[in-house]
């Protein structure tokens, strides 16, 4: 499975402009089976979502579906959603036929006030695409390894972390992405943004990491960029067979 990670510069709460930027990056990139966008890629990280959140099936959701079908690929990115009067930081995974899966962010960023207006998700989500099982995660979830723990009974092959992770804590981002790959014996796609919002500066750090904790590809810092990598299932299965870490997990 070929994966392309899109490190975008998000224009604060300007949905039309951010969708235009995302579409432009997808159109100039080579074909891929999956394109991944950052957390709240159409608005920026809003912690007070009343004005910015979209209804279920809103403009960003429709764009994701239309683009996935048109390009014949899967698309993944999170959106601030108003679902029945409750707000969720919802990570959508849209397949090439328009089928939609989603995960609601479990660990809300209380330091930034996200917990005051958003509702936490209650369960993990693993989706399958091109024969690869993928765990969906959002930003702050990266700090909580128990919730993302892989296991032999229901294993996954890759984790997606979409984020608005500020430059001031980028060393943590870089370290924990590698840790999640190593301890879960899986690929990790960490997709962060660049640019500024009213509170933070974002330098990127978007990277694709293999099950050994090695960075296969990484975006340039402080600029919009796209990188591609391949999930090699034969290599992953051979590694797990040779070094069966998961069967010894707690």
- Spatial neighbors of 138 by CB under 8 A, at least 6 apart, are 39, 78, 89, 91, 103, 105, 161, 162, 163
- pLDDT at position 8: 98
Tokens of 160: 């997606």
- Spatial neighbors of 25 by CB under 8 A, at least 6 apart, are 6, 8, 224, 226
Catalytic option among 139, 167, 178, 219: 139
The pLDDT tens digits for 168-222 are 999 999 999 999 999 999 999 999 999 999 999 999 999 999 999 999 999 999 9
Single pTM value for the model = 0.97
pLDDT at residue 106 is higher than 90: yes
Q: Are strands 34-36 and 2-7 parallel, antiparallel or unpaired?
A: parallel
- pLDDT at position 250: 85
The pLDDT tens digits for 212-239 are 999 999 999 999 999 999 999 999 999 9
CB 160 within 8 A of CB 137: yes
Q: How confident is the model at residue 153 (pLDDT cuts 50, 70, 90)?
A: confident
pLDDT at residue 38 is higher than 90: yes
- pLDDT at position 104: 98
Show the CA angle centred on residue 20, arms to residues 14 and 25, nearest 5°: 125
Tokens of 87: 């707000």
CB 170 within 8 A of CB 206: no
Taken in order 21, 22, 26, 27, is the CA torsion positive or negative? negative
CA distance linking residue 7 with residue 208, whole number of Å: 12
- pLDDT at position 207: 98
Residue 105 catalytic? yes
DSSP E strand stretches across the chain: 2-7, 34-36, 54-55, 74-83, 86-94, 100-104, 126-129, 132-138, 158-162, 187-191, 194-196, 201-203, 207-209, 215-218, 225-230
Catalytic option among 39, 54, 114, 167: 39
Residue 241 catalytic? no
The pLDDT tens digits for 50-73 are 999 999 999 999 999 999 999 999
Catalytic option among 65, 73, 76, 105: 105
């Amino acid at each position: 499975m070929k994966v392309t990670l899109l490190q975008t510069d998000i224009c604060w709460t300007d949905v039309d402009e951010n969708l235009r930027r995302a579409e432009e990056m997808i159109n100039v990139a080579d074909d891929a089976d999956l394109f991944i966008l950052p957390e709240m890629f159409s608005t920026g990280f809003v912690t007070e979502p009343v004005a910015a959140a979209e209804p279920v099936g809103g403009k960003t959701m429709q764009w994701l579906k239309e683009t996935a079908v048109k390009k014949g690929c899967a698309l993944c990115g999170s959106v601030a959603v108003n679902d029945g009067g409750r707000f969720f930081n919802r990570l959508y995974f849209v397949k090439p036929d328009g089928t939609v899966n989603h995960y609601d962010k479990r660990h809300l960023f209380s330091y930034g006030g996200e917990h005051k207006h958003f509702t936490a998700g209650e369960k993990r989500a693993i989706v399958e695409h091109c024969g690869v099982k993928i765990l969906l995660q959002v930003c702050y979830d990266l700090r909580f390894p128990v919730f993302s723990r892989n296991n032999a009974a229901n294993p996954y092959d890759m984790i997606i972390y979409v984020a608005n992770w500020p430059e001031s804590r980028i060393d943590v981002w870089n370290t924990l992405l590698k840790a999640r790959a190593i301890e879960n014996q899986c690929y990790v796609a960490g997709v962060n943004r660049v640019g500024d919002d009213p509170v933070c500066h974002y330098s990127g750090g978007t990277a694709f990491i293999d099950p050994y904790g090695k960075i296969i590809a990484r975006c340039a810092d402080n600029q919009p960029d796209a990188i591609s990598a391949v999930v090699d299932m034969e290599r992953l299965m051979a590694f797990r067979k040779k070094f069966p870490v998961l069967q010894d997990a707690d």
